[in-house]
């Protein structure tokens, strides 16, 4: 399992190291972005190592659209697909809720997209996002969320068409799903059965939390 080690703190500034199964990440960190599992400008993974890149970021939505997360899974996951043995973070697809606003519709259960490539219908909710990221086998998976516009008004942020309620309902469940995925994927976890029991208790809490929120939730 990943662990966070605080090395130094002065006021609000922190110096730390994030230990992962694919290597350590010194923080603060600049994360090189390879949206579709490649850096633009013909930068190879060897080049990334030469410039001491610690962690690479890839995009869940775009990799789901093409070449497809199931294909990447068949090829052994993102690390083998990219020939990269250091940490990989996959975002949740939540940024596309903002950047592809003209091609999506937010519902209570998640977001419906029209593919920017061929117009095909794509549904993405917290569970779907986590399943895609599981297929990609990234080191760090992100919870599905919305990136609201910088000019979004208070009403949007608090009540109506955004995903704040959607995010809060599913945040615990998505966190739980990610940890379940880690338990299944990472083979060297000690006390795996004990961890699964703890996750079961978290799952019960997540379901209670979601159901209690649902009683007061109106998406539109």
Which is more confidently placed, 84 or 165? Answer: 84
Q: Which pair of tokens denotes residue 11? A: 């006021």
Own/partner long-range contacts of 115-119 (Cβ < 8 Å, ≥24 apart): 115/65, 116/65, 117/65, 117/66
Nearest to residue 140, comparing CAs of 29, 42, 9? 29
Say what the pLDDT of residue 213 is.
Answer: 44
- pLDDT value for 202: 53
| pLDDT given at position 51 | 93
What span, in angstroms and rounded, lies between the C-alpha atoms of 94 and 91?
A: 7
Kindly state the average pLDDT of the residues 151-168.
Answer: 60
Above 70 in pLDDT, residue 162? no
Kindly give the pairing relationship between strand 32-33 and strand 23-27.
unpaired
Residue closest to 181 by CA, chosen among 125, 121, 132: 132
Q: Identify which has the larger pLDDT, 176 or 196.
A: 196
Residue 40 has a pLDDT of 86
123 contacts 97 by C-beta, under 8 angstroms: no
pLDDT at 100: 92
Taking residues 53-61, report their average pLDDT: 96
- Bridge-partner residues for 25, per DSSP? 18
CA angle 8, 10, 12 (to 5 degrees): 110
Q: In order of start, what are the domains of the chain with their CATH numbers?
A: 3-214 (3.20.20.105)
Mean pLDDT of 146-166: 65
């Amino acid at each position: 399992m990943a662990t966070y080690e605080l090395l130094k703190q002065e006021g609000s500034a922190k110096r730390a190291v994030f230990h992962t199964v694919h290597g350590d990440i010194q923080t603060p960190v600049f994360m090189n972005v390879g949206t579709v599992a490649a850096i633009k400008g013909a930068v190879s993974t060897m080049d990334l190592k030469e410039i001491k890149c610690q962690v690479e970021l890839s995009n869940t939505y775009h990799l789901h659209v093409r070449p497809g997360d199931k294909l990447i899974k068949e090829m052994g996951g993102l690390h083998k697909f990219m020939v990269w043995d250091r940490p990989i973070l996959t975002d949740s697809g939540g940024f596309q809720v903002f950047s592809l606003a003209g091609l999506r519709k937010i519902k209570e259960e998640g977001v419906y997209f029209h593919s920017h490539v061929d117009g095909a219908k794509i549904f993405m909710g917290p569970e779907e996002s986590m399943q895609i990221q599981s297929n990609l086998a990234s080191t760090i998976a992100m919870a599905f969320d919305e990136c609201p516009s910088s000019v979004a008004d208070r009403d949007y942020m608090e009540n109506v068409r955004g995903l704040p309620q959607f995010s809060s309902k599913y945040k615990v469940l998505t966190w739980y799903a990610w940890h379940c995925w880690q338990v299944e994927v990472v083979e060297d976890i000690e006390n795996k059965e004990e961890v699964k029991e703890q996750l079961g208790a978290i799952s019960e809490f997540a379901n209670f939390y979601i159901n209690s929120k649902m009683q007061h939730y109106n998406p539109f």
